[in-house]
Structure 1
C-alpha cells in the first residue's frame, strides 16, 4: 500500500516537472524584459519622418544615433499600463466583436446553416465538403469563427462519421477551411483591421485583391480535402489515421435552419458588407468598428427573439471569452512602448533594413513574410503579433520600396499560414484534441497543402510589389 502511494507521488512529481510550452502571456512578458534589456545594449537612434497624404513615413537614409535613454525596472510595469491605455480602442473592439458573434452563435443561426447544408447535400459528398468548408472559410476571412472553430470541430466529426471518413476530414473541413480563409482575412478585424490601422491604411482597403486570392486558396483547399476524402472512400486503408466504423455512434444533425435564422444571417452579411464600404468610402475607424459590433449584436439579438436581459448577458459572456486575446494586444503594445521610450525601435528597423535594402523589393517582401512566420511560433496571437510586428514592418516597407499594403499582407500570411502547423497554436491543438487527431498525423496530411499555400502567398506578394499595391 505504501509502495503504491510512493509510486503515485513520483508520477505526480514527474508530471509537474514535465516541460510545457510557455503561455503567450509568459512569452510576451519575456519579450518585454528583453526589450528593456535592449535599451541598455542597443544604441539609441531615430529616423527623420515626413507626413505624406496624412500618413507619417520614415525618410530612408536619415537614421542617426542619439544619446541613450535607459529605462528603470519600474518602467517594465508602467509600460504594461501604457500599452493597455494606448491599445484601448483595439482592445474594446476585440471585446465587442466577441460579444456580437456570441449572440449570433447562441441564436443557432450558424449551426442551423451548417446542418441545412449537410442535409441538402446528403449523398453528394463533394458538395457537402465544399459547402461546409466554404462556410468556415468565410467565417475565418471575416474573423467570425477564428477562435470559436474549436466548438464546431464536433460538427465536423458528425459529418465525417456520416460519410464514413476519418477524423482528419473532420478537422480539415472546419479548422483547416477556417484558417484557409483566415490566411487572407479580407475583412478580419483582429488581423488585417489592426495591421492596417497601425500602418495608417484605410480600414479593409485592398479587399478586392485579397478576395481573389481567398477564392484561389479556398478552391485549392477544397480540392485537396476532397482528393483525400475520395481516396479513402475508395480504399479505407489509405486513411492516415483510420476511418470511422459503422458501429460507432453517429449523432444526427437535427437543428433546423429557420426563416428567423436566414433573416439574421442576411442582416449580418449585409451589415458587414456596409461596414467594408463605410471603412473605405466614409473613413470609418476602429472606434466605428467597435460601435458597429455593439449595434450588430443588439440587432442580432432582437431578430433572434432574445429577451433584453439575455442579449446583455450573452454579449458580456462573449466579451469574456475574448478577454485573453484582447489583453494580449495591450501587453504586446507594451513591448513597443519600451522600445519607443528607449529610442531603440528605429535602430532595430534600421538593422532589419540593412540586409533587405539591397535586395529587390520582391525578395524584401518575402523576407517580411518569413520573419512574421517565425515570430508566430512565439507570439501565437494574430492581434498581438500585429501590435508587435507592424510598427516595425510599416517603416521598413517605406525604406525597402514596398508598399504598406504589401507589408500588411506579408504579416497576415506569416501569422495565418503557420497557425495550421505550429504546435504552439492553442486553437490547432484544441481542435485536434476534439477530433482525436495526433499532431503528427495532422502534419502528414496538411503539410503539402501548407507548402502550396506558401507558394500562393509568395506569388501574391510578388504581384503586389509589381503592381505597387496601395490602399485600394
Structure 2
C-alpha cells in the first residue's frame, strides 16, 4: 500500500497568513529604521533621500499578528465594500436570468468562432490597463465571464487569463496610468511624456505575447479538454458556473431581460468613465469625475435596486437576493484584508524603510548598466512587499530618481522599471489581492495558475529587462 501522499498546495488564506507570520518574524531580526518625510497628509508623505536613521525596534508579537488582518480590513475597507456590493449586484442580475439568456445567445451566435471571444475581450481590458491601470476594477468581471468561457468549451483558467493578462500585460507598460505613471513622474520631477517611446514598444510586445499565450492554451483546451490544467475540476466547475445542463434550460432573452442587460452594461461603462482622469490625458470634452471605490459601490448599489424594480422583485425578495450575492464574494473580501495585513506588519515593525534604504545603498555607485539592471531587480521584491502602485511610487521615487542622475540614467527608465516590476508581480504574487481574489472567484488552485503563468512571467521579465538596458543606451544622459 502506497502511503506517500501527494503534496497539496494550501489555500490562498493559508499562504497569506504564512507571509504575515514570516514578515512578523523579520521584524525581530531586521534593524528598524525610518526616513524623514515631507508632506502633510498620509498619501502625500515622501521620504527625504539621505535621512535614513535607525529607530527603536518594534517587533511584532502574537497580538500584532492576530490584529494585522483586522487592521488590513480597516485600511482596505473601501475595496472590500466594493467587492461585497459587486457580489450583491451580480446576485441580483443573475436571479433575473438575464445573464444566462445573454450567455446562451452569445455562445449560439459564436458557435464555431468562439476563439474570437479571447482577443476581443482581452482588447477591452487592454484599453483599461493602458489608460488607468485597470486592476481592482476587473474583479466585477470574473463572475460574469467565467461562465461564458466555460459554456464556450474553455476552462476557468482561460477566463482568468483573458481578464488578468488582458489588463495586466498592458498595465506593465501603461502609458497614462494615473496611479503609477502619473504619481511616479510627479515625484521624479518629469513629465508623463518622457520615455513614452519605451513604454509603447514594451506595450506592443507584451500585449501581443499575452494574447498569444492565452489563445494557445485556450485552443489546446478546446481541442482536448483533458489537457486543461484543471481538468480534474471540470465537472465541479460546470455544475457551479453553469448548473446541471440536463436540468438547466437557457431562459428566453425577453424584452425585460434585454433592458436589464442594457443597464448592466451601462453600469460598467459609467464605472470606467468615472475612474479615468480625462484631464490628465489632455481631454477636456469629458469631465473628470474622480470617482473611486466609494462612488463605485454607490453606483452598483443603485443599479441593483433599479434592476430589482424592473424584475418586479419586492423589497423583501431584493434584500434576500442581494445578501446572498454578497455572501458569495465574502471569501474574496477576506483575502483582500489578509493581503493588506502584510503591509500593516511591515509598517508597524518599522522595516519598510529599512528595505528601501538597503536598495538605496546597493544602487549607489553603480554604472549605467548596473544601475538599470539592479533598479529593476530592486523593484521586484519591493513590489512583493508593497503591491500598491501609488504607495510604492510615493515611498521610493523621491530616492530612486535622484540616484539615476548620479548613474547617468534617464529618470523615466526608473519609472518604467518600477511600473514593469510591479506589473509583473501582480500577475502571480500572493501579496497581490486581485489575482488571489480572482482565483478564489474562479475556484482555480493557486499552484495551477502558477503552472500556467510562470513561463510567461520569465519571458516578460527577460523582454522587459532587455528593453530597459537598450533604452538606457538610447536615452543616455
- TM class by smaller structure: 0.5 to 0.7
Alpha-carbon distance in 2 for matches of 1:366, 1:262:
44
Deviation string, structure 1 residues 38-69 (Cα, Å, up to 9, x no partner): 33322221101112997221111110112333
Alignment RMSD, CA only?
A: 5.4
1:42-441 counterparts in 2 under 5 A?
42-51=30-39, 55-124=44-113, 126-127=115-116, 130-131=119-120, 146=139, 149=142, 153=146, 155-160=148-153, 169-170=154-155, 173-183=158-168, 220-223=209-212, 254-257=250-253, 258-277=257-276, 281-356=288-363, 363=373, 366-367=376-377, 370-371=380-381, 375=384, 386=387, 391=391, 394-401=394-401, 407=418, 410-416=421-427
Q: Tell me: CA distance 1:149–1:282, structure 2 relative to 1, closer, same or farther (3 Å).
A: closer
State the match for 1:36 in structure 2.
24
Alpha-carbon distance in 2 for matches of 1:300, 1:461:
49
Alpha-carbon distance in 2 for matches of 1:115, 1:139:
27
The one of 6, 9, 14 aligned to 1:26: 14
- Contact persistence 1:103–1:301 (CA under 8 A): yes
Deviation string, structure 1 residues 411-439 (Cα, Å, up to 9, x no partner): 233122679xxxx96966996979xxx95
Q: Tell me: CA distance 1:144–1:317, structure 2 relative to 1, closer, same or farther (3 Å).
A: farther
Structure 2, gaps ≥5 residues long:
172-176, 187-191, 232-243, 280-287, 402-410
Structure 1 residue 330: Cα displacement:
3.0
Secondary structure in 2 matching 1:313: helix
Structure 1 residue 241: Cα displacement:
7.2
- Contact persistence 1:180–1:217 (CA under 8 A): no
- Contact persistence 1:133–1:174 (CA under 8 A): no
Alpha-carbon distance in 1 for matches of 2:468, 2:308:
40
Q: Tell me: CA distance 1:153–1:391, structure 2 relative to 1, closer, same or farther (3 Å).
A: closer
Secondary structure in 1 matching 2:296: helix
TM-score (structure 1 length as normaliser)? 0.64
Structure 1, gaps ≥5 residues long:
1-6, 161-168, 187-191, 377-384
Alpha-carbon distance in 1 for matches of 2:274, 2:201:
19
Q: Tell me: CA distance 1:103–1:386, structure 2 relative to 1, closer, same or farther (3 Å).
A: farther
Deviation string, structure 1 residues 300-357 (Cα, Å, up to 9, x no partner): 4444554433432333223223322323333333333333333222112212333345
Alpha-carbon distance in 2 for matches of 1:430, 1:157:
14
Secondary structure in 1 matching 2:45: strand
Alpha-carbon distance in 2 for matches of 1:107, 1:396:
48
Structure 1 residue 20: Cα displacement:
3.1
- Contact persistence 2:372–2:472 (CA under 8 A): yes
Alpha-carbon distance in 1 for matches of 2:273, 2:437:
33
Alpha-carbon distance in 2 for matches of 1:219, 1:408:
18
Choose 82-91 or 218-227, whichever is displaced more.
218-227
Structure 1 residue 100: Cα displacement:
2.6
- Contact persistence 1:93–1:286 (CA under 8 A): yes
Secondary structure in 1 matching 2:50: coil
Choose 314-323 or 69-78, whichever is displaced more.
69-78
Alpha-carbon distance in 2 for matches of 1:309, 1:212:
54
Alpha-carbon distance in 1 for matches of 2:37, 2:127:
39
Q: Tell me: CA distance 1:63–1:218, structure 2 relative to 1, closer, same or farther (3 Å).
A: closer
Alpha-carbon distance in 2 for matches of 1:278, 1:226:
32
Q: Tell me: CA distance 1:128–1:271, structure 2 relative to 1, closer, same or farther (3 Å).
A: closer
Structure 1 residue 25: Cα displacement:
3.0
Q: Tell me: CA distance 1:425–1:342, structure 2 relative to 1, closer, same or farther (3 Å).
A: closer
- Contact persistence 1:99–1:297 (CA under 8 A): yes
Choose 110-119 or 145-154, whichever is displaced more.
145-154
Structure 1 residue 255: Cα displacement:
4.7
Alpha-carbon distance in 1 for matches of 2:342, 2:13:
12
